[in-house]
Each structure stands twice: as structure tokens, then as C-alpha cells.
A and B are shown apart, each in its own frame.
Chain A
């Protein structure tokens, strides 16, 4: 055998191996979609999941393994889920939850008030965050009725129970991080942290027929890789593919796309501890200096909606906001009203040029770009902005006082209630109030909100509070990033959840050929 023949043989063997791999792959696809007539789907998520423990991670709720007592709908209103109703006898400290009578866990055990109590007890034992949020003092189970007393008046308590980490599980089961037993439409088959979650239909699901036989949830944090996975057929539904691939995906006949505004808001924080930003006119000037449309269209490639306030305009607690517009002239006018004058190309007050420090962070890549846009607009008005990028913005803002402006991003109303944002961002000592905002009228309204349990009244108070935030320009709200989902055309009944809590549902289906 000469050298050439040997090389040719090696090449042939290599090609045969590749072909074998290819054949094996296509065989499994055929089996998946055709011969066995099993309906299954692969959902590729951008949120990595280190554990499946529902009390520490959202994945179990997102994957339809577990459910909470209360859920939030697409209009950000609370809806009964495992609890069919709830009531408070004293305006928000003593609660009575009626658990549905027809529910069993995926292992066949009945879900009664005692099981729910045990699950919540485990919840506050393993999660410091939920212990802090729920403030449960005592629980008493009686048949299907669960009575809960909180440490203090907590009118937003039902809204806290929307949190995916309050999911109800059979707490007697071990191995919660790998195989939690919930009440949802899908049971866990296997789980590989940060890689793959395999699920199968829960045949006795309490809320009707589950359309899919099997589902797989995979995880990948890289947007380009997610796009590729959809194109290669490794995934049927992809959460947040790469923004630059939107046009390619839209032009593909076999792929559908869905875009909804998220509950997240990008905003500017002002440091009220600084003399400069104590002046409303300065805050108004910066409000006018930022071109929200450019942020939405250019910086975020059209994948954002211009924000009028902290919450989506259609939220039940959104007031009629003041009209926002970008105007350099107006910004200049407000600065002049604040006592600043243009001198030698610099904006000066009492002989001192206006120089500011803007904090930003790269976890959300658009935020440093928004900072640069503001810096560039401010420069035209003679304002010097020094941009500083930090790894952890929360820590920096909490520990330092040398900053003037900060870009920030958060989900303002994750659970169908405005009180989380209002308490955290505007009350003294609130964890996201590093700018030390203290507005007497606003504080009184939030305190009133914290004592009010009637939902309509709460919404009215929230609206009044947000109106003050809007008028006083305590923050400048910029855009709501969109949630973009792409999926194969054979996927049926996909709905992009605004809360991002619910992805695999009993209604999700595939069209079989």
C-alpha cells in the first residue's frame, strides 16, 4: 500500500464517520417528529439554570413543572392559580387562602393547605430573599384553607405570592435541585444544570389536557448561538435570538417571530444628595437631553419601546404621563432657569463649570451607549460628563456618594403590583434608592399604599405616586426593552409572557405532519 492509498483510506474512513453521525442525527429527528407521533418541543432559554430548586430559581415555573398560588396575566393583573380565592380580614395582616380542591402533585399526593404550608415553610427556610419579602409570622392549615399571618400589614401579600420562588412543591421529596415535584403540566425526567432539562407530560394535570408529550428546555447565554440553534433545528423556540439576526429570521418562511414589550425599564438615576440635582430644573434639563427615540431605534435596534414612566403605559397603575420630548433648547432653558449660564463654551453657575460623573455598567451593553449619547448631547450644552463603568452598579451606588447620574435597569412591576418599585426606589433606606430620594408627599402616598388592601384603591394611590415621580422627574425613564422570541412555524399556541415567568404551558403544541 503506497502513501497516497493510505491517505485516501484515512479520508474515506473520516467521511464515513461523518456520514454515520449525520444519519444517526436524521434518524433521531424522524423518530422525534414522525414515526412515534410523539409531540415534543425544544425550547432554548437565555437564562442559565444552575439548580432546579423552585425556591431558588425560576426555571421550574418557566418550564411548567411548578405553579404558584397566584399568577399575573398579560395585563399585569393578579389571577388565582393554585389558590382559587383569597381574603384578608384586617386590611392586610391576616390572610385566608382557599386552595383548589382538585389538585394533586405529580406524584399523586393531594395538594391541601397543609402541603402548601409545608412548601412555604421550606421556601422561607432556604431563601433569604423570600423570607424577607413574605414576612410570614404564622401559618395554619385547615383542609383546603390556609390562614397566614404576616409580621406587619402587607396588603401586597397576594402579589408577593406570584414570585416564582414561592412555587408550591411536595416538600417531603428530596433531591429538589434535580427533580422537584410540582403541580404543573410537565414532570421532570432529567436535569443537567445549565445545559438541559427534559420533561414529560403530566397526564393528570388539574387544569385540562396537556398538548405536548415531551418538552426539552435547553440553556445558552450566547445570543448568536441561540440563533444558530434555531436555524440548525437544535431548538424549536428560541428566547431572545441575536438582535442583528432579526431580519434574517423574519425573512425565513419556516420561522415565526413574536415581540412584546417587557416589564423592564432602563432609566437614569439622579443623586439627590448632590446639590446640582436637588434643583428640579436641572432634572428637567436632563430629561429633555436624552433622545428616547434614538435609544429605542438606534442603540437598541428597534427592540425597545419608548418609556413614558416606570411601568408600561397599559399597566393598571400607570397614570397619564406628561409628554416627553427631546429638545436641546428646552434643556438649555431649564438650565438657565436653574441659574446656569454659557461662558466660554461651558455651562457655569457661581463661577463653577457643570461637571458630572455618570456611572454605568456593561451587563446590559446598551447602557454604556446610552451614557455616551447623553454625554454627547450634554457636551453641546457645555456640560462635561465623565463616564465611569463599574462591574456591579448596585454595590457602587450603595457604597459611594461621588456619582451624579447613573444608568440603571430593572423590572419595575414583576408581580402585578407597583409597591415593590415604589418602596424600593423612593422610600428612605430602600435598596434601590441610592440617590437618597426623599419626597414628603410621595412618602405619604407610599405609606398609604402600604396600608391599603383594596386593589382598585391601591392602583389609584400608585397612579398618584407615579404622577409625582413624573412631575418631579425623580428618575428619567427611557425605554422598555422588548422580549423577542423566534420559533418554527409548526409550533402552535406560543405566547410570549410579559412577565417572563411562564413559557412552557399546557396549551403549547406542535403541528404534526
Chain B
């Protein structure tokens, strides 16, 4: 049924006719039945009955193949847990819209499935390959819950630290995020011009932290204009392209699920608005050993964070 037909200038019979047209076209969303007006004319009752029968047939049989093509994929999650679904999921991030739809669905479902989330968090203790990827940063800690980047999926749980700064940044990868608890002011920026120029920039590797910003990047922060400001509360869910520059100005104890795709560039940028400086972040494989050790979480911190997650009621 076309949305908003409950609005104006449309009779009950029009709504039934519209529904019937959907049935004829093979579209039968179950909730549509509840939207049908409670009209009692013989024609209305006949149409309602026809729709109910069509729905019953649908649940008993496979849906018809549209236009005679192959049968569509079964709907995800039928009779399987979110973790089972992750095991057979492949996400093609070159199609940003489609990848966003798939991955927002995963983080939404996992946020609502505390049992699966708890299992994923606890399993990290026995999965050294995941534990080795968990990191501590100035603004957030993260636990890597699931890693299949060859299939376009790496799932992390982000936990804010007690430091909260407004630091515009982008990412090396696109991702979907779902706020579980807490919240943050989320700002998306427009940037005049392109920070990345011709792509690879070996010199950028010298400027890896706020104490050693990139001296070549003066005045870049003046090119930023905030274009959207919103408060992301528990339940908020979005997908961000790796090129988007944003800030997440957190409150204490903010936890979010974060499902990222593969890296699409070798570095990402982070800026300090107050200082007017910027520096770069590289992937683990491109970082000096000292930096890797500095941000590694380790088992003790992981257990402390896990306890904190339990205390917050997240797991």
C-alpha cells in the first residue's frame, strides 16, 4: 500500500483497492492487514478475505519468483541467531547504500539481543586474535567482538573514556553504528577542498599524535563548516562513509556497537579544533611497534571494561 493513504481525500474502498493491487503485484506485508479500514460493506469484506487468504498462502509456500527469475534469498535471521547470521554474512561496501542497510540491521538486532552480545564479549577472553585487536585510546576503548574483514565485517564495541573532546575526524573505512547506552552530540562537517590530495603521503607518517601535528596542514580547520548537529541517544543508528568528517562529543559511559568494513585508504585524519592542528591515524600494520604497544588493551583492562559493561547493564 502506498504510505500515508490514511491521510486525506482517500476513501476506504480506495485503500482496499490499493491493497489488492499490492496483492496482485506480489507484495503482501503482513502488517498491512492491520491498516485496512474497518469497513463493513460486502465488497470490503470480500477484499479483506482475499487479502487474508493471500497472506495465509504466503506463509504456507515459498514466495513466487518475481518475473520468473530465480527464487530470492530467504529473509535473514529466520531461525538463526545474530551470531549465526554474522558467520554467513558478506558485505560489499562498494555499494554504500546496500552495505548500510545490511549492517544497520545487524547492529540493531545485536543491540536488542543482550544474550548474543554478552557471549561475543565473553568469547574475546578465549580468542587471542580478537583480544590482540582491542585498543585503548584517549577518547574511547574498543573491544573487537567479531572479525571477518575478508567478508566486509569487523564488529567492535566502543566504550567512551572519561575524556570528552570535540575532535573532527574521518575513518579509513565506512561503518554502521548503533548507540547502546549513553549518548553523544554528533556533528557532521562539510570540508571545502580535499585533505588527501594524491592519496598516499609518506611524510604523513611522521605526524601521528596531538603532540606532533602535521605542520603542513595549517588553516585546514577553517575549511570545516558544521552541516548537521544532532544528539545520538540509545537506539540511534546510522551509517557513515569513510570520507565523512564528523565529531562524536560523548558523555560518560557511552557504549555503541560499531560494524566496520575494510580499509579504503591508508590513513585517516583527526583534528584539534582548539589548537587548530591535525594529525593522522594509520592502520595497525602501518604503525610503529611502540604505538601498537601503547594502545593495546591487554587482558586486565579487557576484564575491567567487561565488568564495567556488566555494571552498565549492556551485557
Q: Does A associate with B in a complex? A: no
